[in-house]
Structures are given as C-alpha cells and as structure tokens.
Structure 1
Amino acid sequence: MAGSMTIWFFVVLSISILLSWTNPRGETIKSFSLSPLYSSTQSASSSNEDISGLRYDFYHKTCPQAESIVRTHMARLYSDHNNVSAALLRLFFHDCFIEGCDASVLLDDSNGDKNHSIERQAIPNQTLRGFDKIDSIKEELEKACPGVVSCADIVSIATRDGIMLTGGPFYPVLTGRRDSIHSYFNEALSAIPRPDDNITQTLHLFDLRGFDERETVSLLGAHNIGKIGCEFIQKRLFNFKGTGQPDPTIAPDFLTEMRMRCQDSNRTTTRPSSSSMASLEMSESAVGMSYLQALSSSISSGAGFDTHYYQSLLSGRGLLFADQQLMANEKTARLVRAYASDDGSTFRMDFARAMMKMSGLNVLTGSQGQVRQNCSLPLVSS
C-alpha cells in the first residue's frame, strides 16, 4: 500500500506541473483533478501491483538526460516525417494491448527460437511502422547510457512526445519498464481490435484490458491523426460482409470519394502492395467536406489533434467500420456527440488519462524481463 501511495504522489506531483507547461500549440495545459484520474486508473482489471515498479523520473540518477534525448530525437524525426507520431502511437497500442507495455512487438525473433512465430508477423501487425525510429532513439540512448533505458520506456515516452508534436495533450509517463524476452504471436492474432469489428467486439476487447466505454471512445480518438491504407476499408467499399455491395451506412458522396482513392486496390484479391494502394489521410478540414487527401499532403503541426474524428462520425463519414460503429451503441454515441460538441478540452483530458492508464498495463519491472541493448533482439543468456 505504501508503494502504491508513493506512485500516486509522484503522479499528482507531475500533473501539478502541467499548470506551467505549454504544448506546441502555445496553449497552457490544464490540470485535472485527482479524484477522476485516480478512480479511472483504479478501474483497470489489473491491480495496482501492475504499475508498482514504475516511478516518476525513474532515470534521474542512471540516465538523467534520457527523456531529453527522446524528446529532441522525436522533434528531429517529426520535422522530417510528421507521420511518425501516428506510426508510433499505433505501435504503442499494438504493444500494450498484447501482454502489456513490454516492447514484445519489437522483437525480430522469439528469444532465438526460429521455429516460433513472433508478434510482428501476426496479420494485425504486418502494417506497423516506426520500428526503425525506435531503433534510432535507442542507439542515441545507448551512446549516452549503455544498457540503462528499456525499449518499452522508449516506446511510451516517444509516443507521448509524438502526440504533443501533433498538438495533442501532455501527460506524465512513469518509467521503469523492462523488456519482454517473449513474443506473443497467437495473442496478437486474436486479441487486437480489427478495423471491421462491430461495437460489441470492440468494447469487449477493451473491457478485457480494463477500459470502460468512455476510455475506449477517447482512445479511438487517436484515429484523428495519420494515414490508413485502402486495405483496411477495401471490403467495406466493395464487398461488405460478402454481399458484393458497399456498406449501406456509408454516405453516397463519401463512398464515391473513397472508391476513387481506392479503386486500384479493388483489383487485387490479396493484401494490396504499396504500389497499388491509395493512402487516406485525415484532416481537420473533414467537417462538412471530405477528409481524404492525397498521399503527398501532410497534417500541419498543431492542427491534427482535435475533435474532427468525432464530428465526422456524426455525419456518417468514419473511414473504418469499427470507427463508425461507435454510433451504433447508445452510450458510445452519446460520448461521440459530447466530444464533437466540446471545444476539445474534455477529449484531450480523457485521452491523456486513458493513455496514462494504458502505458501502465501489465508492465515488467524490477528483476522481470531485461533491458535490451538492441530493441529487435533479446539478450543472449550467459
């Protein structure tokens, strides 16, 4: 109990610092009260013991410049490729959703067992990007503090910093995670939410990890940044549920526009190649118009992370079936309407809370796991 209270002292302390922080949009970041944050995090199916080894500023003695190195490197990456934020956010979700935030999705083999499939090979993970970005951050940290900072912590910190670079909210990331030596192919194959899941399945998968409806709807708001490939919506546009027809819930003008972007991918019967795939990019200009843009377009810093995702759902213009399904449930639809009508402060606060909670899922700490020297490969036991 004492250890748990210590953690929450540092959480509250770090949150209080928000009063003096500003994000890249120049906004003063609002603090939020302890009670909702505490009760929200306590509602997780996993107990407090899961995050008892994490601390605020875990590396202050062993690698005091760790978070500064990550932040600086992320700023450079973002200036060259502003889609890096969305890529790392998706990488973070896929890692934490399967056996917790342990960097298992980064492994390029399974503890040296070449006969065992790895998470990266599971179908939901085959389109993940950003592995090389995590590797480049790790290389810098290894030069400064060899063998100290875990890959799991790098993913969590870099994701938070990437969100801020898009204009998203700051939230404190407790550190001290260690890296898994195992990869979980079967779990990744079956337990990661699919783009064509209905609302019942989506809520069920999030509930298994301790997230209620409000937290689920706020986390799905992460879809307001980044690009998706046509492969994720191909069936919805041309062969919804095997009918040979499009999803009847798609607005006709929106259907026409998406089909124009993805017409080439309809000609393939397997996963489209990168050369035959159009790219759909979401933008704040979606309100009342289209939010499809050409591949060469970009999301400007500070303009991507807002409530246009929820506003698009109100008009039936959600790209993914799973997104639009938020309007098929009374409680989640009410939350969508609330976020869409808000100035963005409620969504940002809820999203920050939910991300803090997700970053603490089933972490390895203390003597568990290891700190990899190479994020793709586990250390060889001596």
Structure 2
Amino acid sequence: MLRHPVWGAICLLAVLLVLCTDKLCTDARPSAYALLVDDDDEDDGDGSGSSSFSFSSPHETPDELAFGFYDGTCPSAEAIVASTVRELFAADANVAAALVRLFFHDCFVHGCDASVLLDRIGGGKSERDAAPNRSLRGFGAVDKIKARLEKQCPGTVSCADILALAARDSLVLVGGPTYPVLTGRRDSAGSFYDDVNIPAPNATYAMTLSAFARRGFTERETVALLGAHSIGKVQCRFFRDRIYNFAGTGEPDDSLDADMVGEMRAVCSGDGAAPMEMGYYRQGREVGFGAHYYAKLLAGRGILRSDQQLTAGSTVRWVRAYAAGHRGEEAFREDFAHAMVKLSALAPLKGSAGQVRVSCSKSVE
C-alpha cells in the first residue's frame, strides 16, 4: 500500500529544504555556521565560504529518485535495512564506520552505483582490488541485508540503495544526524578499477580539496564530510611513517603534538594482543560521531596526515568553526547532513539504466 499523500508531501518538503540554494533561500535564517564567522571570514567570491550550500551538481535532484520508491513493490524495504543494521551494530559497533566508508568509496567512483561491491568480472580487476579499497570492510554486512531483502522482495531493492540507506542508518546509531535519503538507484553492471581515485591517507589539503572539487563539493562541504572520520579507526600502517620517519627525515611529523606521537607509538609497537589501530575517541576508547574530531586537529592530534592537513591552509577556518563548542557542533551536524544528501545524489543510475543485482558482489548476466 502506498503511503498517504500528506506523508509524501512532507518528505518532499524536507528534501527541498535540505537542497536549498542561495538563490532560493535568501530570506531563510542563517545556518549555524553563519552565526560563528566574522564578516572578514565570509566568502571571497569562490563560493567556498558561503553560509548556505550551493548544490550545483547536475545529479542533485534526479527525477526517478523519490521518497518511498519501494512503497508499492517492497513496502518493508527501508525497515528491513534499518533493523538489520541495528542488529549488526549490536554485534559489532565497528560495522557502522565500515558501511559509511563503503558508501563514500562507492560514490566517489562513477557515482553511487554499488560498483565497489562487485567481485572480479571475467578475470579483470575490480574496484575492490584498488589500493585505496583493499582495507574496506562491511561487505558481509551488505550481503546480509541483501539476503533478507531478497527473501522478502526478490530482485527488487538495489545494492546501491542498500548502501545509501545503511550509511544513513549507521551514522544515526553512532550519534550522527539523520537526513532524507531518496531511493530508486540502480546497480552498475561493471566495476571501474582504473578510475579509483580516493584521497590518500598522506594527501595534502590541496590534494584532498581537488579530489572533492572534481565531484562538485566546495571546501566547506569537504571539511564537513571528513568529519565522518570521527567514527572510524585507523590501522597503524596508514600513519606509521608520521611517527618514525616522516618524509625520510628520520623524525616524526612536526605537525603532530609530541604527546600524540608517544601515544601513537605505544599503539603501533604493541605485542599484537590488542588491535594496532587508533580512532578519534571522545573519552577513553569511546567511538562516536561529533565535532571532537576538529578539536583534536587543532591540538595537533590528527591521526592521518590528510586529516591534520585541514589545519594547514584555508580549510582551517572551517575546522575552527566546527570546533567552537556547542554552536560549532550544531553547525557541523547541519553541514554534514546537507553534504551527505549531496553525496547520495552523485550520478545515480536510474530508470532503465543499470540493473538490480540479486547478489551485490555479482552482476546480473
């Protein structure tokens, strides 16, 4: 049964508000970020400092994506995704960060089409073989969600929509903001190994901004999206050079706080009994979504060089804004939710394009 028309109207209004542009919302109240900056810090003309988001991507409002896309074909689809994510999270809280990271890496290559989930096809390499993706986890979680959906509604719900919904539901479970997710994406029939270009752990802020700009994201949106690192854990191999032999100097990275170097070395020189990984913990080893990530960067406690580099250039103004106490936290959550809606709308396959896989790791023959 379809949802009541009033509910559909409410949902449409919600996404229109989220996708609000400068032109459409000149009379709206300023964002939380706008209340934090001085006039001297405002936009210099390139759009990166705007207090309202500009959603200029040609894929921002695809006609075939909609709220409740599966209402008539699989009414319980979104509930099944949400309940399975909750079950997986209860068994292993690390699954939340894994699913969010999978979604990011998928959307960054040819859009949100679940191409990152595919195994090798005909002996050729898949995206999973590319260096930035070899440490990805969460594939088994996606398979479990898909199996339950196939049992309820065979051949109906795409893997691309599963990733989009599971990422949102995962973020909510770790304390992140909720945001509207349109559905109706279709799955890619191929994988794109040669096109995987994800910012490296040691990327400079210029490299990171360039990678995000190529996908239509502003400086502000980029810094907000990187706040997702607040929920993840980083393996030592991705930052070992920063604490022992940075850039061949034989010394640690001088942008790191001295105490942080000691903490990182203690983790990475362990006997293997404990996981050799670190996260942007809030208290003790508590992992949770929040602007504490930005406060740690300002204190020289960025685990990855690409994170710490956000304090090395113009991006530092956004780091400072998000680290500014309660108001900064509010601004970050608002901006992150907007940016996730935009990310979710990157180049989806829709209508008759692509396919709906039965198994997320295998294309339909």
Question: Normalization by structure 2: what TM-score?
Answer: 0.85
Match of 1:62 among 47, 66, 73: 73
Equivalent runs, 1:31-70 vs 2, <5 Å? 34-35=20-21, 40=53, 42-44=55-57, 46-48=58-60, 51-70=62-81
- What residue is the counterpart of 2:307 in the other structure? 323
- What residue is the counterpart of 1:93 in the other structure? 104
Amino acid at match of 1:42: F
- What residue is the counterpart of 1:76 in the other structure? 87
Shift of residue 35, structure 1, vs aligned partner: 4.0
- Percent identity, please: 48
**Distance between the aligned counterparts of 1:35 and 1:200, measured in 2?**
26
- What residue is the counterpart of 2:243 in the other structure? 237
- Cα RMSD over matched residues? 2.3
Deviation string for 1:42-78 (max 9, x for gaps)?
223x4557x2321111101011110000011111111
SS at match of 2:175: coil
Q: Is the Cα contact below 8 Å between 1:230 and 1:277 reproduced in 2?
A: no
Task: Go from structure 1 to structure 2 and tell me whether the alpha carbon gap of 1:308 and 1:48 turns closer, same or farther (over 3 Å shift).
Answer: closer
Task: Go from structure 1 to structure 2 and tell me whether the alpha carbon gap of 1:10 and 1:242 turns closer, same or farther (over 3 Å shift).
Answer: farther
Q: Is the Cα contact below 8 Å between 1:231 and 1:277 reproduced in 2?
A: no
**Distance between the aligned counterparts of 2:85 and 2:220, measured in 1?**
29
Shift of residue 360, structure 1, vs aligned partner: 0.8
Shift of residue 282, structure 1, vs aligned partner: 2.4
Shift of residue 151, structure 1, vs aligned partner: 0.2
Residue 181 of structure 1 pairs with residue 189 of structure 2 = yes
Shift of residue 14, structure 1, vs aligned partner: 3.5
- What residue is the counterpart of 1:150 in the other structure? 158
Equivalent runs, 1:184-195 vs 2, <5 Å? 184-188=192-196, 191-195=197-201
Residue 338 of structure 1 pairs with residue 321 of structure 2 = yes
Equivalent runs, 1:1-382 vs 2, <5 Å? 12-15=12-15, 34-35=20-21, 40=53, 42-44=55-57, 46-48=58-60, 51-110=62-121, 113-114=122-123, 116-188=124-196, 191-263=197-269, 278-285=276-283, 293=285, 298-299=286-287, 304-330=288-314, 332-343=315-326, 344-380=329-365
Shift of residue 33, structure 1, vs aligned partner: 8.6
Deviation string for 1:276-302 (max 9, x for gaps)?
9612132113xxxxx6x4xxxx53xxx
Q: Is the Cα contact below 8 Å between 1:215 and 1:351 reproduced in 2?
A: yes
**Distance between the aligned counterparts of 1:10 and 1:238, measured in 2?**
54
Q: Is the Cα contact below 8 Å between 2:224 and 2:336 reproduced in 1?
A: yes
- What residue is the counterpart of 1:26 in the other structure? none
State the number of aligned residues. Answer: 329
**Distance between the aligned counterparts of 1:373 and 1:228, measured in 2?**
32
**Distance between the aligned counterparts of 2:199 and 2:267, measured in 1?**
25
Shift of residue 361, structure 1, vs aligned partner: 0.4
Task: Go from structure 1 to structure 2 and tell me whether the alpha carbon gap of 1:239 and 1:9 turns closer, same or farther (over 3 Å shift).
Answer: farther
Deviation string for 1:295-320 (max 9, x for gaps)?
xxx53xxxx11110000011111111
Q: Is the Cα contact below 8 Å between 2:67 and 2:181 reproduced in 1?
A: yes
**Distance between the aligned counterparts of 1:172 and 1:231, measured in 2?**
36
Unmatched segments (≥5 aa) in structure 1? 1-7, 17-30, 266-273, 286-290
Question: Normalization by structure 1: what TM-score?
Answer: 0.81
Q: Is the Cα contact below 8 Å between 1:10 and 1:55 reproduced in 2?
A: no
**Distance between the aligned counterparts of 2:19 and 2:111, measured in 1?**
26
